[in-house]
Structure 1
């Protein structure tokens, strides 16, 4: 506690500093990748991979003829749910993956795409309040799709919006994000201006956060310029910091620490049932050359904020957004970023 009775973010300093190889995962409200050193791939045993909870039939109700075409890239829909329950709602510790309409909304929605050669990736956040067409339900907020119809409807909505085929789905809740943050020894984020939320105070510059402080950091939207859009940047910043912590300074060359991290990860994340144990191992091999520095983070372009049916919404830019979707579909996100360099996530957040 400081002199004002507020809790300071945890000040532990992780020594992690070295890049490693990557395995698919979702972190945030996570939802995305965790680093794997060579020995860690061996440790992705059937026991660990078998702990990952699978969502059945995510893609089964989608009409194959109406879906976007397949591409050499691999695209994931990463979701973080807004559950604040004391018990897990995702992963092996959850009661199950049977979806109950209205039980959860997707607080975080990200498209993560890996290039065909596995050397580069892009993560694009879709603001949860985006005003979009949800098939069968009219125009409403993007996060309502998950609440109304679960993973399948959210996949259908995002594919209809972007014309990009989604290959896999992964979800984690707030409790899982907090556990993963603690499992890597905390994360370091840069904050542009002092901010206070949920009893935590973040100062200007680098802040090293444990799981509880990191969760408060990504949840905050009040008193931030841009509201939900600022929170999207915080979510991406936390994801990037989590990746950097997970793949650096010897953590993944230490079998015990690596095992503990993978054990935490596989307990909390849920994925679609096409990601079998062997598919997870194959994916890790395909991504072995990917590094955190080769992952581009950006947000879908927004033209403005507004009100619809008494609720605050985000309007996606009808001119720039299609250019982003075309760049992603072509596996050429770098071309879009060269045209719109301000779209890339910066080194600090509000």
Structure 2
């Protein structure tokens, strides 16, 4: 044998013996990663040596796929819910079509219609016990201003009268026009709730906690109340929001209690325990939608926008109160006892509301 060839053969490693100089392993990405995560070519292993189990990258890919599937299901459910809500909304021709003013303004009305109500207090037709202007300015705090229903104002096409007479004379459209003339704000949305709606909503959420620091036994509203805070059912909450003759503040006190009822109901409806529980959300939503009438342009998204504005309007940073009032007992021949607003202060008052000039959480207006 050639000595040179024999020498070369002697230095070749045996197939059964490891090579004297093994291939250098790749540098570890960090100190905690083992070499076992890499294959012989220095790349991440795609399967274990014990039987080809899926590697971590494959598990992550599968998790992402399931996440997208769940997201698609969730979006589908939201769309179905939105379609259902749109089909349940009660619309009414209410807006005036006047030129828009800055910000977003919603007129919230509590209709005194007795249709569908089991009570009997001798009242016929429909009036408005509650009139609230909810305004979200372009900057500044949201305002929720209650206009006393007996406010003596000019009604377009009619003589001056109590503001709630506008609703009796010409329904939602005339009331909207009257409020726009009074405030200088164009109503972007209209929301109306009837007597039975208050009861239905409160009962649907299982009652709401209300507070009043006086004992009350009021025959006209039917309210029987012991001073303090109590969980009220729908019938009691309705009487609580309507009572005024036993309240020394009259319409002012009633407006405060109406805002309290609205806030309590809204808090229950917007509570995650309601929103995330389909068995509770559906009946509450059905009762709420059945209680309201809104302008023709308001859909599911519009309702959601109003709900967010209202939530801000009921929060601690909101501006609340009434317009400036000169007298709660201003007598007018042929009209009776009315609430006389302080006319010379009204333009500046509503301008401050529109521009968000009041301080957050400020209580405004009231009797001077």
Q: TM-score, normalised by structure 1?
A: 0.72
Distance 1:213 1:286 in 2: 27
Alignment partner for residue 173 of structure 1, among 191, 194, 207?
Answer: 194
Deviation string 1:148-167 (CA, Å, 9 cap, x unpaired) is 11111111111111111111
DSSP 3-state at the match of 1:216: helix
1:183 corresponds to = 204
Aligned length: 282
Preserved CA contact (<8 Å) 1:40 1:258: no
Deviation string 1:61-105 (CA, Å, 9 cap, x unpaired) is x5x4xx5x421x2110111111223359xxxxxxxxxxxxx9311
Alignment partner for residue 122 of structure 1, among 137, 143, 162?
Answer: 143
Q: Does 1:212 align with 2:249?
A: no
Distance 2:80 2:313 in 1: 20
2:101 corresponds to = 70
Alignment partner for residue 179 of structure 2, among 158, 177, 180?
Answer: 158
C-alpha root-mean-square deviation of aligned residues, in Å?
A: 3.1
For CA contacts below 8 A with separation 6 or more, give which structure has more relative contact order: 1
Deviation string 1:164-197 (CA, Å, 9 cap, x unpaired) is 1111111110100111111122111221211123
CA distance 1:255–1:241, shift in 2 (3 Å): same
Preserved CA contact (<8 Å) 1:77 1:155: yes
1:39 CA drift (Å): 11
Please list every run of 5 or more consecutive structure 2 residues that lacks an aligned counterpart in the other structure: 1-74, 119-123
Please list every run of 5 or more consecutive structure 1 residues that lacks an aligned counterpart in the other structure: 1-37, 89-101, 345-350
Alignment partner for residue 306 of structure 1, among 330, 344, 359?
Answer: 330
Q: Does 1:297 align with 2:334?
A: no
2:54 corresponds to = none
1:46 corresponds to = 83
Preserved CA contact (<8 Å) 2:142 2:309: no
Equivalences for residues 243-254 of structure 1 within 5 A: 243-248=266-271, 250-254=273-277
Distance 1:299 1:211 in 2: 26
1:103 corresponds to = 125
Distance 1:222 1:291 in 2: 27
1:80 corresponds to = 110
Q: Does 1:202 align with 2:225?
A: yes
1:115 CA drift (Å): 3.9
Q: Does 1:133 align with 2:154?
A: yes
1:284 CA drift (Å): 6.7
Deviation string 1:187-223 (CA, Å, 9 cap, x unpaired) is 1122121112355422222121010111111111122
Preserved CA contact (<8 Å) 1:221 1:230: yes
Name the larger-Rg structure: 2
Alignment partner for residue 247 of structure 2, among 224, 239, 256?
Answer: 224
